[in-house]
């Protein structure tokens, strides 16, 4: 993946944790002066410093077991991003792009769609890899910004803590899941004011509806 990107002539920063792969990238960097190898863990690196004031496009084959933490790390610098193109587990890809009311829709869907506009660009069978993994894969494109641009949320951490609470027990209603935050009558009143069902569950609400409910209960 790195070599085709480097041939574009654009500045490419290859972040790699595996020392054996770093050596190969450093050899490649001798051919491409626009390629900078950054040894280290993407979960710990200062991505804003790497960007150095420039807009970023991110490409990668993500380790499947830490896909969510990596995406969360990238969303932390969402203001710097134009696009993300990553190969991930197909099951996770479905969750990123899931619509409200579907079984795949959950906290990760809301998080992703708040920051970006996800699209499953390509499904990749396990036979495409050597050795074949035990799961199917997909290439996912995330374009920025997402719903965030139209929502005035002053405290995003508080909002996502709220969303986690909403999805704490997916099959329970919002009235039940939010008992730790607000009295049931207050939740029902907020739902009514938003013209939502009193027995609504989190999986039935769009990102904007969850944001509106958060704002009503926060007030």
Instruction: Report the predicted TM-score, pTM, of the whole model to 2 decimal places.
Output: 0.94
- DSSP E strands in 90-217: the ranges are 117-124, 137-143
3-class SS at 61?
A: strand
Q: Residue 7 has what pLDDT? A: 97
DSSP label at residue 127? G
Q: What is the CATH number of the domain that holds 172?
A: 1.10.8.100
Examine the pLDDT at 219 and tell me if it is beyond 90: no
In a shared domain, residues 49 and 81: yes
In a shared domain, residues 131 and 193: no
Q: Residue 32 has what pLDDT? A: 98
Which value, to the nearest 10 degrees, does the dihedral of the CA atoms of residues 122, 148, 50, 97 take? -20
Q: Report the share of the chain in percent with pLDDT over 90.
A: 97
Helical H segments across 101-181, by residue range: 107-115, 156-166, 174-177
Instruction: Write out the residue range of the structural domain in which residue 73 sits.
Output: 41-150
Tell me the C-alpha distance between 107 and 95, whole Å: 9
Q: Residue 67 has what pLDDT? A: 96
- Nearest Cα to 195, choosing from 209, 177, 179, 176? 209
Q: Which of 111, 131, 150 is the last residue of a domain?
A: 150
In a shared domain, residues 45 and 95: yes
Question: b or e along 163-184 (b: 16 or more beta carbons within 10 Å of the residue's beta carbon)?
Answer: bebbbeeeeebbbebbeeebee
Tell me the C-alpha distance between 106 and 59, whole Å: 25
In a shared domain, residues 184 and 139: no
pLDDT tens for each residue of 71-110: 999 999 999 999 999 999 999 999 999 999 999 999 999 9
Q: Are strands 137-143 and 81-89 parallel, antiparallel or unpaired?
A: antiparallel
Q: What is the CATH number of the domain that holds 125?
A: 3.40.50.150
Query: For residue 60, with 0-12 CB atoms within 10 Å meaning exposed, 13-18 middle and 19 or more buried, which class applies?
Result: middle
pLDDT tens for each residue of 54-64: 999 999 999 99
Examine the pLDDT at 170 and tell me if it is beyond 90: no
Q: Residue 30 has what pLDDT? A: 97
């Amino acid at each position: 993946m790195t070599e085709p990107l480097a041939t574009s002539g654009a500045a490419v920063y290859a972040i790699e944790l595996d020392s054996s792969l770093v050596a190969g990238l450093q050899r490649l960097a001798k051919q491409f002066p626009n390629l900078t190898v950054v040894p280290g863990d993407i979960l710990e690196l200062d991505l804003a410093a790497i960007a150095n004031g420039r807009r970023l496009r991110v490409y990668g084959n993500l380790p499947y077991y830490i896909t969510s933490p990596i995406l969360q790390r990238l969303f932390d610098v969402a203001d710097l991003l134009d696009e993300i193109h990553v190969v991930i587990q197909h099951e996770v890809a479905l969750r990123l792009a899931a619509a409200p009311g579907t079984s795949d829709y959950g906290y990760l869907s809301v998080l992703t769609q708040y920051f970006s506009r996800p699209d499953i660009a390509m499904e990749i069978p396990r036979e495409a890899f050597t050795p074949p993994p035990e799961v199917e894969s997909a290439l996912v494109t995330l374009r920025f910004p997402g719903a965030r641009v139209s929502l005035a949320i002053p405290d995003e951490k508080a909002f996502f803590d709220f969303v986690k609470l909403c999805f704490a027990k997916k099959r329970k209603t919002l009235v039940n899941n939010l008992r730790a935050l607000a009295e049931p009558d207050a939740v029902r009143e907020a739902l009514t004011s938003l013209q939502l069902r009193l027995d609504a569950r989190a999986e039935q609400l769009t990102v904007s509806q969850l944001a509106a409910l958060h704002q009503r209960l926060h007030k």
